[in-house]
Structure 1
């Protein structure tokens, strides 16, 4: 996992130590489901890609390695281990043929030491290719940090799957190669498109509830997932694990798709502790990063939560960060405190997703509580939140509700909505357009008639609406009702030439 140097603390080997944490030390309270795991390769043929160390000009269709954790019914014979995940890591770093005995020698993290060698065969919570549990489950699309692996947060992903969520992830890669160009808008767009590729993949998963999708991003992934939600209404919630939306919002604003008014879904941001002044000064970090959060402050239409974990630094928000990143002696807490706070991060993530994807009221209450009400000491966590200001209720909102009831009882629906939204306006031309759109499709013609009947109730003196209603009846070969409504239109507008011509044709 690589961090943006312009934003985050640089970790120097001269001032670092390595943690002594293993998977068993996380001790998260898992749910009732067995966790299944799959990893496979897909290809996005709409984009090209180069493997940099093949030393060739040849481009290939963009490879998308996909990791999925899901609720399973039973345990398969093969359980995941740290080595399982590191084999995926090396493949995503494009060293597929690297012998496993060289793995710890090859990458900066994990380093080759006795602790990590002993941990390679430690089991985690997932079983490879287990049968999927019955039912449909909410989907979480995980966006990794800067140039990071799909499995960088495997412990959190396993935890969520055990509680009835599907978690799907792909590695964080640049637009043309595995390398980013420095956390630029180009990198942002590349990762957002990868998230959208996974979004399409979920549509083919029979066990995925595609009406309940959230994104979850760590570091740079917590910038890309916001952009993805801005242009995909099917994403219903956003989890930010110390996401760069806090540190690098200006990059997102350069995107042609950036529109904060589109962020109208629940949002939770979990942040690292304040960076000590000595570290800010030594590493030339802007002190404003400790307290400014322009994106959060600008949110209007979201129920938004902002949490600060006083015992976590940035890398501690991922499983790999806790297991393998060196500790910065200038500011990192000890392993016990880090693990306790990561457990809280996992707990808040679960409650947030339960509340807004599963409509769990107990989880919603947990989110609304102060930390002390949840028996969490203020020394561990501080929290602020704000309620969404509802967006104006517009024609599209009315139509969404009307379509759900197949356009039946529109007058009753309209009267109920007026009580909640007294400024609701349903423009005549929009109703006319909707009615024609429905009428000229054989499967929905009768629904179009219902729209026109409602429209003429709202606008009883509209010659155009009666004319359109008559045309709908013509399309349905109901000439009697067509004549009756052309006559109504003509009575309201004697110069309506279409009604005059149509009546001549129909009366022959």
Structure 2
């Protein structure tokens, strides 16, 4: 069910004054640039190379809550130049720094129009919230990770950090930075970035500054693709926020979905898709969003942004400080504040379990007075709760095997094509593990689940057959009977479970019950399918021999 919510400006103003400044949180903010070396990834075979050249070097820009503050602040031009810095104390006077600042200036002029030099000088020296190199907070906070856009996302990053999140953006390698434009190498870029994100997550957790359990991903524009790939590969991700990445637009969607590891069904956590109403008309593959049937899907569609970069620091800064967008400045500023506010509530709900935020993003109540041009929100609850294999095993830790089977029966009615069905081989392996371990209840449950997700499956029969004979060899006769009877119940029209049950009765001396099962079994061989003729004849002869033994005694 899709819930459509139109948020009014009046409703939003009850939380903060969106026409003024962002409503920063209670935490001071720190900023650092960290360097990690992943020694599991060799980048050159040169034996004398230094570690930073021989192995994969990963630069990370990190914003974090801090209990301290200083006058040594990040400025707009420092953020612009930081893409080439070795650490957070980089110099502005170097040629790379000056080049990056000049490039940002030209880009903003190209996107938004001419501006006065005095306005630019004031903007570039503007101080922000982040204190350079501040101490880490003693408290652990949820981690948000993504691919770096040093200028475009810094305001959002500071805002989220002030509200109790650690925001870590991985810098892309220079020789990979143009790869988004070329499909043949795009997949390598995404794979490398996903591995970088995984390594950085591990390192930040080892530093004990990030929550060990809560992990979200975040990305803007073309830097929003790798985080989706990372989330598909990493079951540790708890929430995903995609800020106008163009994921579902022609020419971009094809590159991401060309990855062999691309599978929307692997997205099993809340997914937020933020876009402008203007550009969403070009999302010709938007239906693919709802292939993420195991995810709660949120869409925030803003009606007033005039430009793709209005979701970024560049559009917001131009509207507030360059005086070259006076006709749209109010709309741009309000939209930027609204999307950041919603983004914070999304992560508060998904990673912190904040009930107020959950109600805010899932509410189905439409305010009586609203401006339909301002913002549209959509919430689509997950279509299925059918677990994947890892989630299924976790369910056994929380619930009894019978309860798990009941859950699976309910979900299978709604989700006939699911990941367990696609991963039937691994599910069988789990059943065999429980069988070898002698975990009767779980082996019985997995056998039942195999049939729930695939009624034609024959693996469950073999698992229970082996388990029954193993228990019988251990003189666990009552338990063996339970397993053999379950196998007959699961496969009432198959002859082999009848043979095994009859064999059990014969071994414990119940000749009448044994004969009954053998006679029923031999009749079932007449309608048996899927067996070579010689093998089926061998089965028939085995039944005849058992019947003759019992009748001639």
Give the structure-2-normalised TM-score. 0.64
Give the superposition deviation at 1:355.
1.6
**In 1, Cα distance between the equivalents of 2:181 and 2:320?**
22
Asked which structure has the greater CA Rg, the reply is 2
Q: How does 1:446-461 map to 2 (within 5 A)?
A: 448=439, 451=442
Q: Give structure 1 stretches of 5+ with no counterpart.
A: 1-23, 50-57, 276-286, 440-444, 472-481, 497-508
1:126 aligns with 2:121: no
Give the superposition deviation at 1:157.
0.8
**In 2, Cα distance between the equivalents of 1:455 and 1:227?**
30
SS at structure 2 position matched to 1:132: coil
Q: Is the 8 A contact 2:303 2:373 kept in 1?
A: yes
Give the superposition deviation at 1:346.
0.2
Q: Deviation string for 1:378-414 (max 9, x for gaps)?
A: 2221233322211435665432122357xxx545x44
Give the superposition deviation at 1:91.
3.0
**In 2, Cα distance between the equivalents of 1:329 and 1:198?**
38
Aligned-pair Cα RMSD in Å: 4.5
Q: Which moved more, 1:125-134 or 1:257-266?
A: 125-134
Alignment partner for residue 231 of structure 1, among 230, 233, 241? 233
**In 2, Cα distance between the equivalents of 1:37 and 1:189?**
29
**In 2, Cα distance between the equivalents of 1:379 and 1:334?**
14
2:199 — aligned with what? 200
Q: Is the 8 A contact 1:173 1:180 kept in 2?
A: no
Give the superposition deviation at 1:293.
2.2
Q: Deviation string for 1:265-309 (max 9, x for gaps)?
A: 22121112416xxxxxxxxxxx96166624325443322122222
1:383 — aligned with what? 377
1:504 — aligned with what? none
Q: Is the 8 A contact 1:371 1:381 kept in 2?
A: no
Alignment partner for residue 110 of structure 1, among 98, 105, 114? 105
1:283 — aligned with what? none
**In 2, Cα distance between the equivalents of 1:266 and 1:298?**
13
Q: 1:64 to 1:191 in 2, by over 3 A?
A: farther
SS at structure 2 position matched to 1:346: helix
Q: Deviation string for 1:443-483 (max 9, x for gaps)?
A: xx9xx577469889999995522454589xxxxxxxxxx45
**In 2, Cα distance between the equivalents of 1:291 and 1:455?**
41
Q: 1:309 to 1:370 in 2, by over 3 A?
A: farther
Give the structure-1-normalised TM-score. 0.69
Q: How does 1:37-436 map to 2 (within 5 A)?
A: 37-45=31-39, 46=41, 48=43, 61-76=55-70, 78-91=72-85, 99=93, 103-104=97-98, 107-111=102-106, 113-144=117-148, 148-149=149-150, 152-173=152-173, 176-180=175-179, 182-184=181-183, 186-204=185-203, 205=205, 206-247=208-249, 248-274=252-278, 289=282, 293-312=286-305, 313-323=307-317, 334-369=328-363, 373=367, 377-393=371-387, 396-404=390-398, 409-411=400-402, 413-414=403-404, 417=407, 420-421=410-411, 432-435=431-434
Q: Give structure 2 stretches of 5+ with no counterpart.
A: 1-17, 45-51, 107-115, 450-459, 485-499, 506-553
Q: 1:402 to 1:488 in 2, by over 3 A?
A: closer
Q: 1:79 to 1:436 in 2, by over 3 A?
A: farther
Number of residue pairs aligned between Structure 1 and Structure 2: 426
**Structure with a larger share of its residues in helix:** 2
